[in-house]
Chains A and B, each alone.
Chain A
Amino acid sequence: MSTIRIPPVLRTAAGGSKTVEVAGATVGEAIAALVAQHPALRDQVLAADGSLNRFVNVYVNGKDVRYEQELATPVGPTDTIILLPAMAGGR
């Protein structure tokens, strides 16, 4: 099981969880497991065609999967996946 860190802005859709443990050998499988547990997250993380939304960055152990193998990036049982959507607040 790898750990997905849910950013504050998505926590409501994840039932308030800060982290979610998921099974899966790739980022794609891990995110599929995440949205199966919390269906409200689907539209916020994935585009209609199943690819990652461009406004959500995904990091595996601190590395941006855009520069790895996107959804096919492998994840191990001790890996941490971070979802990072843009935040605008400043005032």
Chain B
Amino acid sequence: MPKSFSDLMREARSQIREVNTAEAVDLVASGARLIDVRESSEWEEGHIPGAVHIGRSYLEQQIEGAVADRETPVVLYCAGGVRSLFSAQVLAEMGYTNLASMKGGFQAWKSEGRDWTKPVVLSKEQKTRYSRHLLIPEVGAEGQARLLGSKALFIGAGGLGSPALLYLAAAGVGTLGIVDFDVVDLSNLQRQIVHTTDRVGRKKVESAAETVRALNPDVTVVPHEEMLTEANVERLIAGYDVILDGTDTFETRYTLNDAAVRAGIPVVHASVFRFEGQLTVFIPNEGPCYRCLYPSPPPPELAPGCSVAGVLGVVPGTMGLLQATEALKVLLGIGDTLSGRLLIYDALDATFSELRLRRDPHCPACGDGAPVASGSGVFTLKGGFGTSTGANA
């Protein structure tokens, strides 16, 4: 027996609860997920803030990724309330138990003067370039737009910075600042894969910028061809959303830490020695900082850089990629970062282990006492160990 559209509507209405916009607001406020099932072109013209977009044609494929628990209350909407009703039927068939369709859809929402937002629209080329990101609910078009509007600063375009630069550029982090005053040396190329043999002798910031531009023209590189010091650190880090610390000296690491704590900028920290790497995330005022972990630097003979001690080239690669991963999580605000945890990678054993870090209430940089005053000199580290970030390790 063929069914008419009216038959189907009647059937859907008898199965699915319809709510008005005010009821939908209440449901969302008490934890319901709001799903927009319209076409992408409609979504791009405006949508309800906080809604997740899953076009009706992708609903069966993508709903489990967006709403894993079938008991979770879900409110669906479309333009006028018809497609959302049929979509809810599909979800009911898939076992979702707490469904509602918003009557009147987005048109009713808008005509009642309720708040709505227009998403950043990616170009056709960007939709293709970032398509694998757009498919992940945790990133999606909104997350990608956020990355394109984000700024990450690399302290050092070396062993750790190279892979992280490549991947953050590929991911479309819109602005990548690079602090490095060094030139490309032949001995760098065993691990510093952002540079190439024909660029030996050229400035690292220029070489890195060239690679990044070739990989992704969406990305703007801001070269800072200078050594990070107490005198310039505040200017260098200002305006960045996240910093990737890939330097080679303790002096730079402490200077950066203190300034980042003062500026409230998260630092993704990594260091390497031969076959081993350490990684953590310092989020000011939320977790510990570098001084909480290591209150004072070791003497130089106990802390040789890669140029003295050597390093298996792929180890900074592994650690740099983990830095890039943490930086993306910080920028997107997703997952649990390594804040408060130190990850130790031992390449020879092929083991990852984790130590819990605590915020030191007496920390001179982030503790309960006064923050480190800029340029006070109190924590200026006196010579004796590498004082340049250009150790080329």
Contacts and interface: CB of A to CB of B under 8 A. Distances in A.
Interface of A: 7-10, 44, 53-57, 59, 62-64, 66-67, 82, 84-91
5 contacts: A7-B276, A9-B273, A54-B296, A88-B249, A91-B161
A87 B246 contact: no
Counting chain A CB atoms within 10 Å of each CB, the highest count among B249, B253, B303 belongs to B303
B87 to A, nearest CB: 48
B156 A88 contact: no
A88 B275 contact: no
B391 A87 contact: no
B274 A64 contact: no
A64 B303 contact: no
B248 A90 contact: yes
Nearest to B180: A91
Main secondary structure of the interface of A (DSSP, over half): mixed
Contacts of A90: 156, 158-161, 245-248, 270-272, 306, 316, 393
Contact of A57 (B271, B294, B305, B393): B294
A57 B248 CA distance: 20
B392 interface: yes
A91 B306 contact: yes
A55 B302 contact: yes
Interface stretch (B3-11, B116-124, B166-174, B349-357): B349-357
3 nearest CB pairs, A to B: A91-B158, A55-B298, A86-B294
Interface residues of B, number: 51
Contact of A91 (B246, B275, B304): B246
Nearest to B293: A57
B220 interface: no
Contacts of A63: 356
Contacts, number: 114
A91 B296 contact: no
Contact of B305 (A7, A8, A67, A91): A91
A89 B306 contact: yes
Given A9-B303, A54-B296, A55-B297, A87 B356 contact: no
**For B161, B296, B355, which residue has the most chain A Cβ atoms within 10 angstroms?**
B355
Contact of A89 (B248, B293, B297, B360): B248
A84 to B, nearest CB: 7
B298 A91 contact: no
A61 B20 CA distance: 56
A57 B360 CA distance: 13
Contacts of B297: 55, 86, 88
A89 B356 contact: no
Contacts of B344: 84
B273 A87 contact: yes
A64 B295 CA distance: 13
Given A87-B276, A88-B386, 4 more contacts: A44-B302, A55-B296, A88-B249, A91-B247
Interface string B368-393: 00000000000000000010010111
B272 A89 contact: yes
Interface in B298-312: 298-299, 302-307, 309, 311
Interface in B147-163: 156, 158-161
Contacts of A7: 276
A64 B278 contact: no
Nearest to B158: A91
A56 B305 contact: no
A10 B309 CA distance: 12
Contacts of A89: 159, 248, 271-273, 304-306, 309, 311, 316, 393
Nearest to B349: A18
A8 B293 CA distance: 18
B358 interface: yes
B250 interface: yes
Contacts of B272: 87, 89-90
A82 B355 contact: yes
B245 A8 contact: no
A59 B355 CA distance: 8
B369 to A, nearest CB: 17
Contacts of A44: 302
Contacts of A84: 342, 344, 355
A87 B393 contact: no
A44 B299 CA distance: 9
